Structure 1
Amino acid sequence: MKLKLLSLLLILLFVAGCSNETDTKTDATARSDAAEQVTQPQTVVGGLKISIDKQEINQKKTEDGDRVLHTFTITGENMGSVSAGLGSIDFLLQTKNGDLVELDHTMAMFGNEIAVGESLTGNVSFELEEEQQASKLIYQTGEDQLAEWDVKSE
């Protein structure tokens, strides 16, 4: 009887171990598919590889009327030799007429220190008036503009 229970337990452990390998392969495939969806080139600045993974344009209802909400999904990977910080506050949106728009503080934001070899993904959103058109997303720390990406306006 003990031999049958032990055999059954070993078979169950073997099957469970095999099923975990299948799940791992599926996860790896999903990650590589997501990496192929990058619409903007990656830029390395100060040891951070920054990429714009996705851009969404939505309507936002406010007390002052309708606005256009531009939301970007940003990933920063620390390729340097020391920890580095990245957050929503580091980004500005430039309009076609040259105005710089700060992030919309009412929407979700991200920010943290990124350890060497680690990455951080988050969203940054900008609220524009109906007649404004987005032109560039700018990465800026302090007064220094370090990188920019062309963005769609509609």
Structure 2
Amino acid sequence: MKKIWISLGVISVLILSACAGQSEKSSSTDHTQAISAKTKAIVANGLKIKVKKQEVNQKAEGKKQQQLYTFSIEAENVSATNKGIGAIDFVLKLKNGKEIKVDPSMAAFGDELKKGKSITGTASFAVNSNETVSKLVYKPVEKGLAEWDVNAK
């Protein structure tokens, strides 16, 4: 009799866990849209930078609706000295030439990297729905040092 109860318990757990996994997958894809960009690695300012993943989500603050562009960025220090990099070093350029800074309400990354070390983090930008995104630009100083084309699908 114990074997039957144990078997029923194990089967119940397996069925419930399988159902839970499916519902999570369907809910996450409803609000996320992948975007494409040229994700080749670029070396700038002694850092090898690659945009690994990009996505766009809806962001609502009160009555204001915006699109939230989030980029997963990997940077490796390929120079002989320590280099600093963070989400704040990136801007999102619109087709009209306007530049959007990192959204301060979202998680960001930043650190000083020793020679040969790397960091991966995200940079998020809130864009009004009527604006068109053009490029992600690495701009630690007044001039952009590297850029990646971004096209929403």
Please tell me the TM-score bracket, short chain as reference. 0.7 to 0.9
- Are 1:52 and 1:75, in contact at CA under 8 Å, matched by a contact in 2? yes
- CA–CA separation in structure 2 for the residues paired with 1:67 and 1:125: 12
Per the alignment, in what secondary structure is the counterpart of residue 145 of structure 2?
Answer: strand
**Once structures 1 and 2 are overlaid, which stretch shifts more, 56-65 or 117-126?**
56-65
Query: 5 Å matches for 1:89-104?
Result: 89-104=88-103
Query: Cα deviation per residue 1:34-69 (whole Å; 9 max; x = unaligned)?
Result: xxxx95110001210000001010001112421100
State the match for 1:52 in structure 2: 51
State the match for 1:140 in structure 2: 139
- CA–CA separation in structure 1 for the residues paired with 2:123 and 2:75: 13
- CA–CA separation in structure 2 for the residues paired with 1:128 and 1:47: 30
Q: 5+ unaligned residues in a row in structure 2: which ranges? A: 1-36
- CA–CA separation in structure 2 for the residues paired with 1:91 and 1:64: 27
Query: Cα deviation per residue 1:8-45 (whole Å; 9 max; x = unaligned)?
Result: xxxxxxxxxxxxxxxxxxxxxxxxxxxxxx95110001
- CA–CA separation in structure 1 for the residues paired with 2:89 and 2:65: 26
- Are 1:48 and 1:77, in contact at CA under 8 Å, matched by a contact in 2? yes
Query: 5 Å matches for 1:120-135?
Result: 120-135=119-134
The sequence identity of aligned pairs, in percent, is: 42
Deviation at 1:153, TM superposition (A): 2.5
Q: TM-score, normalised by structure 1?
A: 0.73
Larger radius of gyration: 1
Deviation at 1:84, TM superposition (A): 0.4
- CA–CA separation in structure 1 for the residues paired with 2:64 and 2:140: 32
Query: Cα deviation per residue 1:55-98 (whole Å; 9 max; x = unaligned)?
Result: 01000111242110000000000111111000011000001111
CA RMSD after TM alignment: 1.4
Q: Which has the higher contact order (CA 8 A, sep 6+)?
A: 2
4+ residue segments displaced more than 2 Å:
none
State the match for 1:67 in structure 2: 66
- How many residues are paired up? 117
